[in-house]
Amino acid sequence: MFSGEKHLSGQNVQVVADLDGRVADVGEPVDGARYDVAAFFISGIAQRWADHLTPGGPGMIGDGCYQGTGPIAPPKKPPGGELTTKQKAYSVNRLRAAVERVISHLKNWKILKTGYHRIMTDFPDVLRTVSALEIFRTAAPGFE
């Protein structure tokens, strides 16, 4: 869990955001180097947002690593081939830009920006606090 090169502990954190660029949910941090797909299930995000992944549900968008797990993902280029014109036109990357902005806003909080150098057992509480403050900061007008 500790990177000898960067001298930081690694955590995989799954973030759910709306298309307006606001945090909706943050999963429990997953220790060490894990694939995003594994962290999606381990962090509890998949269970809490399962209603969105059911047929007729509002759906979710993810990046290419989430193919086959439920969220809508951009198509991958086949080995030795090219994407069709229809596949190229079907790009969810523009929609994902809002989520990437949310992640950057979370990383702008100083305690997360400088690398977490405190007791690792406290990190889940710190992450929940920062995400709750970010949700409150970006809440729609009239939210009280």
Placement of tokens 């797990």 in the chain: 69
Instruction: Give CA–CA dist 96/94, Å, rounded.
Output: 5
At 112-133, the pLDDT tens digits run 877 777 788 888 999 999 999 9
Confidence of residue 142 (pLDDT cuts 50, 70, 90): low
Give CA–CA dist 108/5, Å, rounded.
Answer: 23
Give the tokens for residue 121: 């057992």
pLDDT tens readout for residues 51-79: 888 888 888 888 878 888 888 888 888 89
